[in-house]
Every structure is written in C-alpha cells, then in structure tokens.
Structure 1
Amino acid sequence: MTQARIIQKSKNAMQSGRAGSGEWALEYNPADAQRPDPLMGWAGSADTRRQLNLKFKSLDAAKAYAEKNGISYRVIPAAPKVLKLQAYADNFR
C-alpha cells in the first residue's frame, strides 16, 4: 500500500505575506533510497513519486483523495504560531 503524509503549509520565513499558508499538501513517502550518480555525483533515485506534491484547499479534500485512491496517510499540522512580544526598551535591561 502506498504511504503518504498530509502536511499543512506554514508561512514562508523568507517573505512577509501569508499566501498559501492555509493549504494542505499530500507528499508521498520515499520508496527508494537516493544514491549518487556515477558521472556527476548528484543524488537521485528511480522513485518518481518523490517529485509529486499535490495541493488541496482543505484537510477534508486531501483525506478524501487519499482514501479514494487507497493511500495510507499521516496528518502533520503546521506548528502553532508563537508571538514574541517585546519592546525596544527590553534591549537595555
């Protein structure tokens, strides 16, 4: 049986916007280990499902797709957002 993980995308740390942060993605678990290419030395494998990244608007849609296609899955929610409130004056204490 094919195994995958359903993860919730978090905010990109390199940008200030929150576009795409509520989406869910289904990513297949690697079925084949990566090995270095003899000519170039790049890591690669024969597993093409590793390149698939399916995006869904909701968790229910991702679960429905996995169940319809016989994919066992594990749900990984995004890490909770923690605000560190601090004043400029705290730098001088």
Structure 2
Amino acid sequence: MATARIFKRPKNAMQSGKARTDHWQLEFAPAEAKKADPLTGWAGSGDTRDQVRLFFPTLEAAVAYCEREGIDHHVVPTPTATLKLQAYADNFR
C-alpha cells in the first residue's frame, strides 16, 4: 500500500516572492532504501514513485485524490510565519 504526505511548500530562503507557495504538494514515501551504484557511486533505487510530485490547488483536492486512489496519507500542517520586525538603525546599537 502506498503512503504519501501532503504539505504546503514553504517559501525558499533565496526567493523574495511567494511563487508556488499557494499549492499543496503530494509526495510518496520511499518504498525501498537507496543504495550506491558500484560503478558511479550515485544513490538510486528501483522505486519510481520517488520521482513523482503532484500539485493540487487545495488541501481538499489532494485528500480527495488520495481517498479515490486508495493511498494512505498524512497532512503536514503549514508552520505559521513569524516576522521579526527590526529597524535598520538597530544594526548600529
């Protein structure tokens, strides 16, 4: 049975805007551990679901997809954003 986690993508530390942070993302849990390739040393596995990421406009749509397809899922709550307000003059105290 496939398991998946549903979460809202956080804003990247290197981006100033909020692009692609309003969608919900579904990722499958790995079915097998990754192992190093003896020739190249790259990590890989036979699990192709590791490459699949599905995006949904709402949480309800993502949950409905999982229930329709029979996928066990858990929702990771979105952390609350905290703003640290400080003035430029604080740098010179």
TM-score class normalised by the smaller sequence: over 0.9
Unaligned runs of 5+ in 2: none
Large movers: runs of 4+ above 4 Å: none
Q: How does 1:46-57 map to 2 (within 5 A)?
A: 46-57=46-57
Q: Which amino acid aligns with 1:63?
A: V
Alignment of 1:65 onto 2:71: no
Q: How does 1:38-53 map to 2 (within 5 A)?
A: 38-53=38-53
Which range is displaced more, 65-74 or 75-84? Answer: 75-84
Alignment of 1:13 onto 2:13: yes
After TM superposition, give the deviation of residue 24 of structure 1 in Å: 0.3
* TM-score of the two chains, using structure 2 as the length reference: 0.94
Unaligned runs of 5+ in 1: none
Q: Which amino acid aligns with 1:33?
A: A
* TM-score of the two chains, using structure 1 as the length reference: 0.94
Question: Distance between the aligned counterparts of 1:43 and 1:22, measured in 2?
Answer: 31
2:84 — aligned with what?
84
**How many residues matched?**
93
Question: Distance between the aligned counterparts of 2:19 and 2:92, measured in 1?
Answer: 36
Question: Distance between the aligned counterparts of 1:81 and 1:57, measured in 2?
Answer: 20
